[in-house]
Amino acid sequence: MKIAICQLNYTVGDIEGNTLKILDAYNKSVADGADLAIFSELSICGYPPQDLLDYPHFIEKCGQALSQLAEITEDTAMIVGCPVYSQLEMGKKLYNSAIVLRHGKIHEVFSKTLLPTYNIFDEYRYFEPNHEFKLLEFNGIKIAITVCEDLWDLDEPKLYKVSPMEQLKPLGPDLLINISGSPFSYKHIENRGELMRQNALKFDIPLFYVNQVGANTDILFDGGSMFINRDGVIAEELEYFKEDYKLVNWQPDMSYQSHSHNYKNDDIALIYNALKMGIADYFGKSGFKKAILGLSGGLDSAVVTAITADAIGVKNVLPVLLPSKFSSDHSINDSVALCQNLGMHYETIAIKDTVHSFESLLEPLFKNTQRGVAEENIQARTRGNILMALSNKFGHILLNTTNKSEAAVGYGTLYGDMCGGISVLGDVYKTQVYKLAQYINRNGEIIPQNILTKPPSAELSPGQKDSDSLPDYDLLDKILYLYIENLLGPEAIIAKGFDAAIVNKIIKMVDRNEYKRFQVPPILRVSDKAFGIGRQMPVVGRIN
Amino acid sequence: MKIAICQLNYTVGDIEGNTLKILDAYNKSVADGADLAIFSELSICGYPPQDLLDYPHFIEKCGQALSQLAEITEDTAMIVGCPVYSQLEMGKKLYNSAIVLRHGKIHEVFSKTLLPTYNIFDEYRYFEPNHEFKLLEFNGIKIAITVCEDLWDLDEPKLYKVSPMEQLKPLGPDLLINISGSPFSYKHIENRGELMRQNALKFDIPLFYVNQVGANTDILFDGGSMFINRDGVIAEELEYFKEDYKLVNWQPDMSYQSHSHNYKNDDIALIYNALKMGIADYFGKSGFKKAILGLSGGLDSAVVTAITADAIGVKNVLPVLLPSKFSSDHSINDSVALCQNLGMHYETIAIKDTVHSFESLLEPLFKNTQRGVAEENIQARTRGNILMALSNKFGHILLNTTNKSEAAVGYGTLYGDMCGGISVLGDVYKTQVYKLAQYINRNGEIIPQNILTKPPSAELSPGQKDSDSLPDYDLLDKILYLYIENLLGPEAIIAKGFDAAIVNKIIKMVDRNEYKRFQVPPILRVSDKAFGIGRQMPVVGRIN
């Protein structure tokens, strides 16, 4: 039996485009003599469709696309993902389904049982869980068909009361298929392969796992679809961070060689590739071609420039140097050196006069006050205004360069350097940004060495350094990680040996800056716990 | 039996403050000879606690507060709301519980069965549904205890497969208590009373309903707790939009007089009161005292100024006139007249020179281009920068004045007039803003008549009017309502007789501006479908 694993990059809501992609891959599988072509979760509408699912006309359009796909099927079957009405008299209206299309019609529907509703997932918002367990009989083979989370219940304690595979195994399946929309995280990729292996081993069954690839705004999908033999051997693995297709000639009693991984098991390389894909798809799927960003001479904007150049091409990135009277010579020189290393055109716009104009305007109200955050922010917002004016005039999208450490403690100016259409580094701690820079320089200097070695500074007041306001990033990031990723409270963090005053100060800063994070652009998500929809905290209220 | 209904304004996360409030009301109920004092859903942690629930130390703190409250109880019992660990071996870790405290200890725990997970609700993100149905035996009376949504399943088709009251009724309850955290919407208030009446009638049981009051960031709670007799008569009703306390002397066979409503059943009056409370609590709970906003001479900023003055006091509002070279005389005169009507100090800062400074700076890059959105936005962002500088310098919070019609179609400048800590009118359509202005003027002119009669204009280019880019607001708002509130697609809206070209244009504008709405401040929610957490749409992707 020949099974085609079709790993595609879908666009949320683009039913027509997604259907055409599915059709192309299906036609290829037919030409290859496949018996079955499998596509990922909610492939027709793209994942995650969010509240588009609340619109009846959207569900109808999905249904029409499904019927059109069904009509062209002949002996080669396909399994696609689509929301379908439940037809039940009670409960949520929709199922998240894997639908078998064959011989010109909708052959059979299998729906998702386990609906993840935590972190970035909110499937119980839309879907009714499946309660009917059955196998697909296909050319004499019995196939268990599951959707994503349905296989993610091996860990103790159990999050779900029903185990789909415990229900399906007694029915005697020969083969297990899982259609998935499993987001990337640099912590997740290894776990996912291992979990799928454990499923194959535990239920003594060969497993075809098909994931989507590509970015839908902030949520990144890395692909890495697999065929795993019943002995837990990963026999086939599709590419990461790109579309792929693989025809597997599967025989019930055949044994398979282990396949070496298609990804480098290196957090920083994974993050780099994920961000590159995230940027490319943000532009590709929104129809914009060109990016603009402010180049400060610091690490973050340098790293964003380099990754974006790799993602959408050097010619499509416009860095703008916006020196103020506090900008050091090295900021300008380092930025210029970066652009030269990349062969990239840049613009320079000195903001001094405009900042001065603001200060004159405000002088009557500001007189007798001390220079401080207000004056610093005027500079950052003047830069934001200039970058947005260029964006509005020429159609570039502004990239936000705030890193996760800054976003966490609110070290940034709302409507200033926190502007942008998409945040590239908002889920990357500063200590990781350093490593990204080293990764970018792995084959020769792109990011000038001085950017890596000089002390970080916002350069909004004379001689300012990040370390004036913040602990060293090594220490800061450790504490932030324990608070944000590990969900430890201040007492538990202090109990790990950190200084109580520093821990309390940092956690207060994180809590107090929810209002800033509420207004940041979508953040490309690379970790298990990113700011955004996956971490919903009160803006007004007391947290600790 | 004497039952004290305690309708309080809790702050999310402020366990200590909430516990003290509960204690105060409990002590009063003891002094009044109450047998039982009832508090609303999740009263100890405040509702909605969001992802604070993911932090184990937060749940522990809730548990400690619960124990402290339990310890002080004597013969008067209390029912409070608190998250508690489920102790189950599988499923979500927490229950959303109503806890009976009496005689110095935690007497009994009743947990929520129906977990709303739609619109602004995401309770299945955190909680395990209750499956155990039992009554509280209390001084010889059998009481059914339910939590909020548990009584919201009367409509067909049923959203839930279990009906808590269908389970509890056969056990023979004498009395029904519902502790609730039911958010305000101007469409919801009437339905809620009717639904509670229907519950009393259907299950032939007297009902004590206790809601919270106050705003937690964007989500507003109107109170309106009730005692309803078994014959569906609303015999007692607590205040709307403020804390209240009522002792009800309930006897099983007593009959009760109907009580006239404590609210005026007028959408606009309700919205006004809700916004006023929302502003007051945004400031009160975040610890800020003073508001700043830009006064354009238009309707929206005038209405926000008037409501805010009512909410936090005339002396705590600083309106700033920021005329540009395109500002008309009437914009300035009308703004001054408004401030005079309110007896409010204002500042005037002309932005012409600073805008000119930006334009000079950009001239080398902008030459040979046509004046357009980029130049218009420079003005709006210059205003934003000035207002934020004042905010940063003096500690005022900037109020956003964008209305729902503008937010819907993206008629506003990101980082310009879309700045602010809280959006007052982001859930109020322009046609409703006019009515709010008339309501504000009900006892005499506050908002100058000219603001109500002149055609709306952003005044960012010579002679500009909103109607240059948008259909009349009457028409626009009707189409927006059908799309946003009623979830109709373009075809269904056109089928209602609207012009196809206009409908398609408007819906494209709504869809295309998700990126702007992603970055707006929290919006005070007054309708059933506000922008924000209750409407989660893809930023990149195709929608229609």
Distance from the B55 Cα atom to the nearest Cα atom in chain A, whole angstroms = 5
CATH 3.60.110.10 residue window(s) in chain A: 2-262
Say how far apart CA A314 and CA A306 lie, in whole Å: 9
C-alpha–C-alpha distance, residues A66 and A112, integer Å: 17
The predicted-structure confidence for A477-506, as pLDDT tens digits, reads as follows: 999 999 999 999 999 999 999 999 999 999
Provide the mean pLDDT of chain B.
96
Chain B residues whose CB is inside 8 A of the A217 CB are 538-541
Predicted pLDDT of residue B17: 98
Measured in whole angstroms, the distance separating CA B453 from the mean position of its chain's CA atoms is: 29
- The pLDDT-based confidence of B338 (bands split at 50, 70, 90) is very high
**Model pLDDT, residue A194:** 94
List the structure tokens of A182: 């499993």
Q: How far apart (Å, rounded) are the C-alpha atoms in residues A333 and B509?
A: 43
What is the reported pLDDT for A543?
Answer: 84
ipTM entry: 0.96
Q: How do beta strands A207-210 and A175-179 pair?
A: parallel
Instruction: With a cut of 80, say whether residue A419 has pLDDT above it.
Output: yes
Q: Indicate whether A261 pLDDT > 80.
A: no
CA distances for A326 relative to A330, A355, A380, angstroms: 12, 12, 12
Q: What is the pLDDT of residues A305-341, one digit of tens each?
A: 999 999 999 999 999 999 999 988 889 999 999 999 9
Contact B515 A421 (CB under 8 A): yes
CB-based contact, B367 to chain A, within 8 Å: no
Domain A2-262 classification at class level: alpha beta
pLDDT of B424 reads 98
CATH 2.60.34.10 fits B2-251, yes or no: no
Query: In chain B, positions 101-140, which contact chain A (CB-CB < 8 Å)?
Result: 117-118, 122, 124-125
**What is the spatial distance between Cα A84 and Cα A395, in angstroms, rounded to a whole number?**
38
Residue with tokens 């909610």: A42
B162 and A CB contact within 8 Å:
no
How does pLDDT run across B82-136, given as a tens digit for each residue?
A: 999 998 999 999 999 999 999 999 999 999 999 999 999 999 999 999 999 999 9
Q: What is the pLDDT of residue A416?
A: 97
- Which of B393, B394, B398, B402 should be substituted to probe chain A, the one whose Cβ sees the most A Cβ atoms within 10 Å? B393
pLDDT score of B11: 98
Query: What is the pLDDT averaged over residues A6-22?
Result: 98
Q: Encoding tokens for residue A143?
A: 């196939």
Sign of CA dihedral B370, B374, B377, B381: negative
Question: Does the active-site annotation cover A148?
Answer: yes
Residue A520: per-residue pLDDT: 96
Tell whether the model's pLDDT for residue A262 goes beyond 80: no
Query: What are the φ/ψ torsions at residue A50 (nearest 5 degrees)?
Result: 50, -140
Query: Is the omega angle on the peptide bond into residue B48 within 30 degrees of 0, that is, cis?
Result: yes
Q: Residue B363, SS3? A: helix
* pLDDT reading at B26 higher than 80: yes
B269-462 adopts what CATH topology?
Rossmann fold (3.40.50)
Question: Phi/psi at B203 (nearest 5 deg)?
Answer: -100, 10
B166 is catalytic: no
Contact B39, B19 (CB under 8 A): no
B397 Cβ neighbours under 8 A, 6+ residues apart? B282, B283, B286, B288, B290, B291, B292, B391, B420, B421, B422
Residue A169: the pLDDT is 98
Average pLDDT (B156-161) is 94
Mean pLDDT of chain A: 96
Q: A430 catalytic, yes or no?
A: no
Confidence tier at B144 by pLDDT (50, 70, 90): very high
- Say whether pLDDT at B262 is over 80: no
- Give the model's pLDDT for residue A272: 98
Report the percentage of chain B scoring pLDDT > 90: 92
Asked if A231 and A203 touch (Cβ cutoff 8 Å), the reply is no
Whole-angstrom distance, CA of residue A369 vs CA of residue A391: 35
Q: Would you call B141 helix, strand, or coil by DSSP?
A: strand
Separation of alpha carbons B132 and B152, rounded Å: 18
Looking at chain A from residue 480 to 539, which residues have their Cβ under 8 Å from any Cβ of chain B? 487-492, 515, 518-522, 533, 535-539
In chain A, ranges of CATH 3.40.50.620 domains: 269-470+513-517
Under CATH, what is the fold of the domain A269-470+513-517? Answer: Rossmann fold (3.40.50)
Nearest to B82 by CA among B58, B69, B98: B98
b (16+ CB within 10 A) / e for B437-466: bebbbeeeebbbeebeebebbbbbbeeeeb
pLDDT at A437: 98
Region of poorest pLDDT, from A201-215, A222-236, A351-365, A452-466: A452-466
Pairing relation of β-strands A105-111 and B226-228? unpaired
Distance CA A138, CA A226 (A): 21
In the predicted structure, residue A260 carries a pLDDT above the cut 80 = no
Q: What residue spans of B352-429 are helical by DSSP H? A: 352-366, 373-394, 404-409
pLDDT tens per residue, range A40-93? 999 999 999 999 999 999 999 999 999 999 999 999 999 999 999 998 999 999
Instruction: Indicate where chain B has its CATH 3.40.50.620 domain(s).
Output: 269-462
Q: How far apart are CA B488 and CA A135, in angstroms?
A: 37
